[in-house]
Structure formats: C-alpha cells, structure tokens
Amino acid sequence: MKEERYQILKTIIKNYLPEDVSIDAVSQESNFVSELNINSANLVDIVLDVEDEFDIRLENEDMEEMLTVNDALAIIDKKLSA
Amino acid sequence: MDKPRVVITGLGVCAPNGVGLADFTEAMQEGKSGIRFSPQLKELEFSCQIAGEPLLKDNLLEHYFTPLQLRGLNSSGLVYGVVAGRDAWNDAGLPLAAKEEPDWDSGIVFGTGILGADKFRESIYKIDDKNVRRLGSGAVMQVMASGISAYLGGMLGCGNQVTTNSAACTTGTEGILMAYDRIIAGKAQRMLVGSCSDSGPYLWAGFDSMRILPNKYNDNPTEASRPMSASAAGFVPGSGAGALVIESLESAVTRGAKIYAEVLGGAVNSGGQRGEGSMTAPNSAAVIRCIRSAVRNSGIAPSEVDAINGHLTATGKDALEIENWSKALQLTGTDFPYVNSFKGLFGHCLAAAGSIESVASVLQVHKGQIFGNVNCSDVHPNILKKVHPSKIPQVTIVHRSKILAKASFGFGDVNACVIFGAFND
C-alpha cells in the first residue's frame, strides 16, 4: 500500500522535475527543492495534484512540513487514515 | 560622435494568416486572409462574429514549451508571444544562454495590453467559489502583463533589461523604439522586441459593445476588414504576436548575421487628449508632429519616404490618417508614397498590431515588394483627394523600397512612428 502511494507520488513529482533531473534521481529521502531542484513555486502545484489524486485536503501547516518525499508520504498516510 | 547604426537580424511571427515566417510571407504576398467566422462569438451573441486568430498546428507547442510549462497553460497571448519571440531569436542565429550565466548584452522589450484573460477568468471562478487555495502557481505568471517577457527571458537567458511595455495599439511599434533607444545609448547590444495580444471574447467584447466592429460580414468574413475603403465598416478584432531581433550593426557584423533592414529612427508622442484628441480619437497635430520628428530623427528628407504602412484600421478615421500623412510629409498625388494597410488580411491585432505589421513591413523592404491591399477597390473619395490610386496597390507589386515609414496609433491619444531603411553597407 505504502509502495503504491509512493509510485503515485513519483508520477506527480515527475511533471515538476527540471529537464536535467531524471525520475531515477527521486528517492524517499529526496528534498523537493534542495535536491530535486524543483521550483519552490511548483510545490503548491504538487500539493494540488496530491489533493486531486488522493482525494484529501492539505492545510497550510501540512505544506510547511512537506520538505521531502517522505514528508509528503507521511502527510498522505495521516490524511487517509484520519 | 555619430549614433551607432541599428539593424534587424531576426523575425518571428504568429499571425492570423500565417504562423511562422515562411507561411506568413506567402500569405502576405498572395493576399491570403486570416479572418474567419467564430462560432464562439456567435454563441455569445456578439454583433461581430468574425475574428483573426492564429491557427496553431497540433503538437507545435511542444517545440516551444517544456511539458511542465504546458501544464495548465491557458494564456493565448503568452503562447503567441513565445512562438514569435523564440522564432525571431532562432532566425537571428542566436543561441540560448548557457545554464550558468545569462547573456548580459541581450535584452527584451515585449509588450501586451492585457495578458492571459482566459487564465484570469479561470482564477476568478475559483476565487468567487471561495477556492483561492486551488489557484496554483500559473495564476500569477500567466496573468501578469510582463509574463511574456519573463517567459522569454528565462527561455533565452537574457541578462540585459527584460520588460513589457503597454500603450494600447501602439505597443508593438513603441517597443521597437524603446529597444532602439537602448542600443543607441550603448546599454545593450541586441534586443528582442515584439508584442502579443490574447484571442477571445474577453479581449474583444469591449470593442463590440462600443459598436466599432463590423456586424454585416458574419457570413462573409474575408471581406469584412476594409481599410481605406469607402465601405469601411469598423475594425475586425485580431490577435497574435510579432517579434524582431534588433542589434547594433557592429554586433551583427561580428556575428556574421543576415540583415533584413535597418532601423533609421523614429518617434513617439501623445496628443494629450487636447484639441481634437480624446481617449479614443487622435489629435492630428500630434500625429503630424510624430511623423515629422520620426523623419527628422532618422536623418532623411520627407520626400525620401517611398512606402507607408499605416495604422489604417478600417474605420471612418482612415481618411483623416491619410490626410495627416500627406500634411506631415508634404506629399500628394503620384508623389505620395506607396501606402498599404495589412489589417485587411488579419484584422486589428490590438497590442500585437504594431509588431506583426512591422515584421511584414520589414519583409517588404527585404523582398523588394509592396504587399497588396485587399477590400479597397472602392478607395474612400477623401483619400483619393490626397493620393493617386496607383499608390494604393490592390495586389502585391515589385518595389525596392529604400525608406518605409510605419506608424501605429492607440487609445489614450498615443502615437508611434518608426522608419525602416533598406540596408546597404
């Protein structure tokens, strides 16, 4: 289940990677901005895609905590089990 | 010290009657119209249900935007501007700046009137639905006026001034002179200049409501735009983008660039909405003054102007514009320069008009042709009082123009006139 969510998240992240960053570079430990070089303005678009894909709602505090792929997965787990 | 010479080394265009330089050139030479019936305007019960919109081929945008940039892209003016701007840059043989450092000597002036109206509409629906949090990042950069220069600036990596000008329908022509001034001042070696305007009902509705668009040609779109004609019935709304790379002659020669034509000079001014001028009507004294200062600033005599590309929108004001050209240059009859309006073929592209028409004007000089006027076999009688009919060609003719004057006028009583010259070293 957790692996499945990770794969879904990866397909979302893929759309926002700079052209010179491969999807293979993404791991659960990756930091969106400092390691994957994702434009910080696009973090909000990732959040919107996550909301649509998992049918959940992320609050401002959730976004602030979402620095790495693992952070995002933890937030998704929390929302889905709530 | 003599002012440096400034030349045009690249052209790009996204016009209702041709996307890309080759298609556009052919359309202009052969008089192919880009004005078509619009089912959307009919559905919305516009009086005028025709328009000039660029037709973009499937998958074309993949060559201009990354997949990420294409996500949620809903700003037609931005799309047209990027296509024209990148084409002009490429046509000039200029590279994209390397990843680490911008090209400090290259800048951008790319104007618009209002950008991303459709994207803004998307946002407004979400906002009114108390859903601000769902706007996403595109709600800012696709809607800010300078979105177009910002997108192009990042794609090309320009490190000089990157800005957007806005002066209603003079925008495109004014931008060329802003960039020209910057090169003359030695502050930049080359500038990408252009302008763009969105398509669609939200852009054009205001003009329809002002009753200044033709409403009797919905079944006959290609005959609707009739500049200089006695039967002119209003301007046909249009959209698109035009772009030019202008640079110092020294830079062009050093790069071994091809040269289309030279920018000899020009002028911008305003009638101050005084005298006969108003928010929507030109002050003729200002128009005449603008043309005269453009000629003087270019170091030529008025009689040397052998071709005019007018603003000439196909309203009742066309005859007045011709009278103003005639007074400004002190030329009449067979001495009057060849004159044409391209709006007969693609309508009035508003903020994009000056740049698309400047691209076509430069093509005329480069090809040694005057593109034919359309829909004006019945030239307005007041125009014939000033201009011999042989100077208003109805089909494309061969004429090696040495000096072409191009002017644009806009709401707010603003004027711009640029003088292009055939290049010889």
User: Is a pLDDT exceeding 80 seen at residue A1?
Assistant: no
State how far residue B158 is from chain A, nearest Cα, in angstroms: 19
Alpha helix segments (H runs only) across B224-334: 249-255, 284-297, 318-329
Q: Is residue B2 part of a domain?
A: no
Decide if A45 touches B, using CB distance below 8 A. Answer: yes
CB nearest A48 (choices: B66, B68, B134): B134
| Interface check B134 vs A, CB under 8 A | yes
Mean pLDDT by groups of 10 residues along chain B of 425 residues: 89 98 98 98 98 96 94 96 98 96 98 97 97 91 97 98 98 98 98 98 97 97 98 97 98 97 98 96 97 98 98 96 98 98 98 98 98 97 98 98 98 98 92
Q: How far is A81 from chain B (nearest CA, A)?
A: 23
B23 and B145 part of one domain: yes
Name the helix (H) or strand (E) containing B404. Answer: strand B403-410
pLDDT of residue B425: 78
Q: Do both B39 and B176 map to the same domain?
A: yes
Token readout for B223 is 């005959």
| DSSP element (H, E) containing B110 | strand B106-112
Q: Looking at the structure, do residues B150 and B285 belong to the same domain, yes or no? A: no
Six token digits for residue B393: 């060609």
Q: Is residue B113 part of a domain?
A: yes
Residue A15 at interface with chain B, using a CB cutoff of 8 Å: yes
Q: Classify residue B371: in a domain, yes or no.
A: yes
CATH number where B398 lies: 3.40.47.10
Residues B322 and B372 in one domain: yes
ipTM: 0.86
B377 is a domain residue: yes
Mean per-residue pLDDT, A23-49:
94
| Domain of residue B33, residue span | 7-255
- pLDDT recorded at residue B1: 53
Q: Give the closest residue to B235 by CA, choosing from B115, B76, B350.
A: B350
Which 3 state secondary structure label does DSSP give B53? Answer: coil
Determine contact, residues B79/B73, Cβ cutoff 8 Å: yes
CB-nearest to A15 from B71, B137, B138 is B71
- Parallel, antiparallel, or unpaired for β B35-37 and B50-52? antiparallel
Chain B interface disruption, residue of A36, A43, A45, A56, most B CBs within 10 A: A45
Note whether A64 contacts B: Cβ–Cβ < 8 A. no
Give chain A's length.
Answer: 82
Compute the nearest-CA separation of B137 from chain A (Å). 6
Domains in chain B, number: 2
| Residue B373 CA: distances (Å) to CA of B25, B32, B168, B334 | 15, 11, 24, 17
Find where tokens 């040694």 sit: B368
Q: How far apart, in whole angstroms, are the C-alpha atoms of residue B215 and residue A63?
A: 52
Query: Residues near B184 by Cβ (< 8 Å), separated by ≥ 6?
Result: B3, B4, B6
Helices (H), B229-340: 249-255, 284-297, 318-329
Do B247 and B276 fall within a single domain?
A: no
Answer whether A15 sits within 8 Å of B136, measured CB to CB: no
| B362 within some domain | yes
Q: Are strands B261-270 and B190-197 parallel, antiparallel or unpaired?
A: unpaired
Tokens of B78: 């931005």
- Boundary (domain end) residue, out of B191, B225, B255: B255
Residue B398 tokens, joined: 């061969």
Using the Cβ of B130 and the Cβ atoms of chain A, whether some distance falls under 8 Å is answered with no
> In this complex, which of B67, B68, B136 lies closest to A48 when CB atoms are compared?
B136
List alpha helices for B235-283, DSSP H: 249-255
Q: Is residue B260 part of a domain?
A: no
Q: Determine phi and psi for B6, rounding to 5 degrees.
A: -125, 130
For residue B72, the chain A residues in CB contact (below 8 A) are 45
CB contact under 8 A, A44 and B134: no
Domain boundary among B255, B282, B313: B255
Nearest-angstrom CA–CA distance, B92 and B8: 9
Q: Which residue of A has its CA nearest to B134?
A: A48
Residues B216 and B280 placed together within one structural domain of the fold: no
CA angle B69-B73-B78, nearest 5°?
Answer: 90
- Give the pLDDT confidence score for residue B311 in this predicted structure: 98
Tell me: do B298 and B210 sit in the same domain: no
A37 touches chain B (CB under 8 A): no
Cα–Cα dist B102/B94, whole Å: 13
Question: Among residues 138-157 of chain B, which lie with CB inside 8 Å of chain A?
Answer: 138
B189 in the same domain as B78: yes
Predicted structure pTM score: 0.96
A54 interface with B at CB cutoff 8 Å: no
Q: Are residues B176 and B276 in the same domain?
A: no
Report the distance separating Cα A58 and Cα A43, nearest Å: 12
In one-letter notation, the amino acid at residue B107 is G
- Indicate whether B249 and B287 sit together in one domain: no
The answer to whether residue B325 sits within a structural domain is yes
Mark yes or no for CB contact B68/A41 under 8 Å: no
Chain B residues in contact with A48 (beta carbon < 8 A): 134, 136
CB pairs under 8 A between A and B: 18
**Domain termination residue (choose one: B209, B230, B255):** B255
For residues B4 and B184, is the Cβ–Cβ distance under 8 A?
yes
B316 shares a domain with B279? yes
Calpha distance B289→B283 (Å, rounded): 10
> Dihedral, CA atoms, B88, B92, B96, B97, nearest 10 degrees?
-120
Q: What is the CATH number of domain A2-81?
A: 1.10.1200.10
- Domain chopping of chain A, boundaries: 2-81
Which 3-state string (H, E, C) describes A12-74?
HHHCCCCCCCCHHHCCCCCECCCCCCCCHHHHHHHHHHHHHHHCCCCCHHHHHHCCEHHHHHH
Closest to B21 (Cα-Cα) out of B103, B68, B71, B89: B89
Question: Has residue B261 been placed in a domain?
Answer: no
pLDDT at site B3:
83
